[in-house]
Amino acid sequence: MKKWGFLLLLVICLSFVFVNKEWSIQNKVEVEGNEKNNIDPIDNSETSEGFQTIAITKEQIFQGNLLLVNSENPVHQESIKSDVVNLFMHRELTTGYGLLDNEIKLSKDVARKFSVMIAAAEKEGVRHFLINSGFRDFDEQNVLYQEMGSDYALPAGYSEHNLGLSLDVGSTLTKMEVAPEGQWLEDNAWKYGFILRYPKDKTEVTGIQYEPWHIRYVGLPHSAIMEEKNFALEEYLDYLKEEKKLSTSVNGEKYEIFYYPVKKNTDVLVPDNLRYEISGNNVDGVIVTVLPESTNTNLKRERMAK
């Protein structure tokens, strides 16, 4: 009897170790910087193999998911996401969460990614999410600013809500700072490409008070690196400018990130046969993100099908 009891205890212990090991692997982030960080990656012969050169215009500084919007860097017209929709009119995008009213708008792509994240939260028993605010055009932002004042709102063109990438998330239970939904987002949003844009410990960096409800889409691997290094967006973009090239692994998926300063028209390197994304920083350059092999396999299939 004692023998069977010992074996049962051993099985339970091994199961606990396996579960915890699996959790740590699923949330593993590894970042390698560029040792020669004073070298422009376009001049790096080791990097150039398998890449081609494309021209980047200055306008592209103001487009993409990594745009820095604050009191010094306003939203440009070309910065606004082109796929902004009224979520109430697209109920297929709102599964698993509620809307404060029927006028809330958001980038369609960001809404899809938010829905995926909310579905993951629901599997963990966290299911009382509510979107209180999403995209606002300049006129709507100006009205809010006039009504609320500078203590509670930002001028038109200086709010992330003018991009289509940000949203204010609430809980139908209680305030976000104490709600399970708020804690879940703080712990897990980065896994789905979202960040808590105005954290409690970064008010001096962002210039904005702590907002546990305001999340912003930046995409992977950027959200994972920011989580790993405890960066606000301002700090992360400065880090990219300093490093110029990063290799990072998120859950075993490898990404390459390159920063290029842009003055007028600039040539940058992009991969020949791999998926990549280009985003400006809304200041002085662009970031090229080379996506992992899993997405590139899909690209090869698409090309073979043509």
Sole residue written with tokens 């899809």: 112
Is residue 158 classed exposed, middle or buried when 0-12, 13-18 and 19+ CB atoms within 10 A define those classes?
A: middle
Strands 97-99 and 129-133: parallel
**Tens of pLDDT along 267-298?**
999 999 899 999 999 999 999 999 998 776 55
DSSP string computed for 69-98: -BTTBPPPGGGS-TTEEEGGG-GGG-TTEE
Is residue 211 flagged as an active site residue? yes
Taken in order 70, 74, 79, 84, the sign of the CA dihedral is: positive
**Tens of pLDDT along 159-207?**
999 999 999 999 999 999 999 999 999 999 999 999 999 999 999 999 9
Q: Which of 31, 167, 191, 23 is nearest to 109 (CA)?
A: 167
**CATH 3.30.1380.10 placement within the chain:** 80-217
pLDDT of residue 44: 43
**CATH 3.30.200.180 placement within the chain:** 32-66+244-306
Architecture of 80-217 per CATH? Answer: 2-Layer Sandwich (3.30)
CATH for the stretch 32-66+244-306: 3.30.200.180
Which residues in the chain land under pLDDT 70?
1-28, 33-48, 296-306
Cβ-based neighbours of 30, under 8 Å, separated by 6 or more? 248, 249
Q: Are 256 and 289 a contacting pair, CB within 8 Å?
A: yes
- The single residue of 211, 234, 235, 253 carrying the catalytic annotation is 211
pLDDT of residue 33: 67
Structure tokens at 39: 């070298």
